Amino acid sequence: MASQNFTRQPTSTPARGSMPPPPTTPGMPPRSLSGLRGRSTDAATPQPLPSGVGGQQQRYNYSTDGRVDSTYPQPSEPPPPPPQWLNQAIAILHERYPHDNFEAMMRHSAVDRNTQQPVRMDTLQAGQAPPPHVKWQYLPRIRCNDCPGKLYTAVPSSAVEGFEIHLKNRHHKERVEQRRRAGPSV
Ligand SMILES: [Zn+2]
């Protein structure tokens, strides 16, 4: 009962006369917030990517697993950049596996609306409108350039660990070794 009383009491009531008028300007952007953050001692925010990439990514609406809705046929404009979590995973992996040749990419793909699973293009009728259960998306993938033709699914929760399994694969390692023995590529 004593504590109830205690918490309800305001600790200090500012003297009204000495206070400047409250800064209530509704149209103003919250400039004071960013100003505060800039002044704080910990000004170093982790920024592994050039800011241009981040700005470009904001043009697109990424799903939580990094997909971007698209149309068919594939738009002539370049695909959206990979989501930031994938770029970060690739950066980590390049650091751990400096001799391996792989990259993030966005793959234009047919997707089943119900299962969200990619639909193989060869199951679709060429030249005909895709069936109503098919939609089109760019899907985040990792391409291994040492193992041509292979694309690997990347998910935010385990993008590094998932592709690391491939990088540790014996066949992959052999290909990397072969390429390195063949001499430096251009
Ligand atoms: Zn590989």
Q: In angstroms, what is the span from residue 166 Cα to ligand 1's centroid?
A: 6
CA-closest candidate to residue 160, choices 100, 87, 72, 106: 87
β-pairing verdict for 102-112 and 150-153: unpaired
Residues with CB under 5 A from ligand 1 (ion): 144, 146-147, 172
Q: In angstroms, what is the span from residue 123 Cα to ligand 1's centroid?
A: 27
In tens digits, what is the pLDDT along the chain, a chain of 186 residues? 444 444 444 445 445 555 555 555 455 444 444 444 444 444 454 444 444 455 566 789 999 999 999 998 899 999 999 999 999 999 999 999 999 999 999 999 999 999 999 998 777 777 777 788 999 999 999 999 999 888 999 999 999 999 999 999 999 999 999 999 998 755
Q: In angstroms, what is the span from residue 146 Cα to ligand 1's centroid?
A: 5
Count Cβ atoms below 10 Å from residue 33 Cβ, excluding itself.
9
